[in-house]
Chains A and B, each alone.
Chain A
Amino acid sequence: DTVLTQSPALAVSPGERVTISCKASESVSTRMHWYQQKPGQQPKLLIYKASNLASGVPARFSGSGSGTDFTLTIDPVEADDTATYFCQQSWNGDTFGAGTKLELK
């Protein structure tokens, strides 16, 4: 199984720039995707194929990386971005990271 490792939590102030990392246990090329999940809601696609912005997602969100190291960046962070962010790889089956909970100070 391809294991994805994410930091459990981050706290930032509105207006700041935040980077959320996802490290794969083996290379997944650019087959990495990012989702946002707010409490009580279903996940929402943000980024696909490592760096492509999904339809309707604000340009404040961006993704980068290839191989084993990937980053989701939000710049600037807004209060509405409070959520848990999951990465997902589709190189070897489909697996998700455990999620990074983003809190605003």
Chain B
Amino acid sequence: QVTLKESGPGILQPSQTLSLTCTFSGFSLSTYGMGVGWIRQPSGKGLEWLANIWWDDDKYYNPSLKNRLTISKDTSNNQAFLKITNVDTADTATYYCARIEGILRIISWFAYWGQGTLVTVSS
């Protein structure tokens, strides 16, 4: 059974760095073809893809946020991470991690999602 769970600080101040953790089970990010992505959703709004990381440590970022994002993984502990630097109120959202399925990086979709973690940026 595949499960994912996000964790984060809850609230942080503008200009700080947001650190998010995705702890998962039912698969390994060291397995060929596996990937995990991060997606966020401001309250009442749509979904915004942020970044993907693959089993071979290949990484892809949303071009509009690339300079602020860093995705990484710890395969030993079944975790993936996302850091967002210099946050402001526009980064307030629910952040989801999801397991990617598909044909390697050629075509992929988000098959399993965590429940999300709400992050509020406020002074």
Contact = CB atoms under 8 A, between A and B. Distances in A.
A42 B115 contact: yes
Contacts of A97: 46
Interface in B76-123: 96, 101-102, 107-116
Chain A interface, >50% SS class: loop
A33 interface: yes
Q: How many of chain A's residues touch chain B, expressed as a range?
A: 20 to 34
Chain B interface, >50% SS class: strand
Interface stretch (A10-18, A19-27, A69-77, A88-96): A88-96
Contacts of A30: 107
Contacts of B11: none
Contacts of B114: 42
Contacts of B48: 96
A94 B49 contact: yes
B55 interface: no
A90 B47 CA distance: 14
Given A45-B112, A94-B37, A96-B49, 11 more contacts: A1-B64, A42-B114, A42-B116, A48-B102, A49-B107, A88-B109, A90-B107, A90-B108, A94-B62, A96-B47, A97-B46
